[in-house]
C-alpha cells in the first residue's frame, strides 16, 4: 500500500530529475530510463504518475513557468513591473539546469504542438502582466508598446545570458537594463 502524501513528493522528484537530465542531454536524449534512474525510481513510475514522457516534460515546463508567477502582487503598478523583471531573472531562472531546459524546450516547441501551446501561454502571460501594470501608468497604446518591448528585452537579455553561459553578474546587468528601460519609458511620459 502506498504511503499517504508520497505522490506529490515523487512527482516533484521526477520533475527535478527531468530538468537535470534535459540539461545534460537535451530533450531528445532524455529517456524514461535516464530520468527514472536520476530520480532513484523505477521507469514504470513515470507512466503511473504522468502517463508518459511527454506529459512529464510538459509538467516540468509548467513547473518552470510556475516559478514566474508572483506569490503576492506588489502594491503599486511600478513595483509590479519591477517584480516581473525580478522573477524572470530569479535564481531559479538563472540555474544552469533551468537555462538548458528552457533552451531545449524553446527549440522543441517549434515542432511540438503541446510545447508550442505552453510557449505561447508563457509569452502571452508575460506581455499581459506587463501591459496590465503599464496601463495603470500610461495611455493604452503606450502601455501596449511598452509591454511588448519590455517582454522582448526580458526574453532577449535572458537568452543572451543563457547562451553565453555567463555568470550571475551578467544576469544582474541584464536585469538592470530591463528595469532601466521601464524607468526611462515612465520618465519619458512624465510618470516618474
Q: Cβ(96)–Cβ(58) under 8 Å? A: no
- Domain residue ranges in the chain: 6-63, 71-188
C-alpha–C-alpha distance, residues 33 and 65, integer Å: 25
CA 143 to the chain's CA centroid = 23
- What number of residues does the chain have? 192
Higher pLDDT, 165 or 94: 94
Domain 6-63 falls under CATH 1.10.10.60: yes
Q: Quick one: residue 15, left, alpha or beta (phi over 0 = left, psi -120 to 50 = alpha)?
A: alpha
**pLDDT tens track for 60-112:** 989 988 888 878 888 899 999 999 999 999 998 888 888 888 899 889 899 99
For 71-188, which CATH class?
A: mainly alpha
Amino acid at each position: 500500500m502506498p504511503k499517504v502524501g508520497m505522490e506529490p513528493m515523487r512527482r516533484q522528484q521526477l520533475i527535478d530529475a527531468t530538468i537535470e537530465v534535459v540539461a545534460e542531454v537535451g530533450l531528445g536524449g532524455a529517456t524514461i530510463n535516464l530520468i527514472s534512474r536520476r530520480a532513484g525510481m523505477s521507469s514504470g513510475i513515470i507512466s503511473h504518475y504522468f502517463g508518459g514522457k511527454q506529459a512529464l516534460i510538459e509538467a516540468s515546463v509548467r513547473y518552470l513557468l510556475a516559478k514566474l508567477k508572483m506569490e503576492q502582487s506588489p502594491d503599486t503598478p511600478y513595483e509590479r513591473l519591477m517584480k516581473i523583471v525580478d522573477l524572470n531573472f530569479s535564481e531559479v531562472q538563472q540555474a544552469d539546469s533551468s537555462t538548458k531546459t528552457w533552451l531545449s524546450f524553446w527549440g522543441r516547441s517549434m515542432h511540438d504542438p503541446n510545447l508550442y501551446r505552453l510557449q505561447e501561454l508563457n509569452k502571452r502571460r508575460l506581455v499581459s502582466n506587463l501591459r496590465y501594470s503599464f496601463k495603470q501608468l500610461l495611455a493604452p497604446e503606450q502601455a501596449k508598446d511598452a509591454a511588448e518591448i519590455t517582454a522582448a528585452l526580458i526574453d532577449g537579455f535572458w537568452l543572451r545570458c543563457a547562451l553565453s553561459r555567463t555568470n550571475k553578474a551578467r544576469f544582474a546587468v541584464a536585469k538592470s537594463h530591463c528595469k532601466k528601460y521601464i524607468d526611462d519609458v515612465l520618465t519619458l511620459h512624465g510618470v516618474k
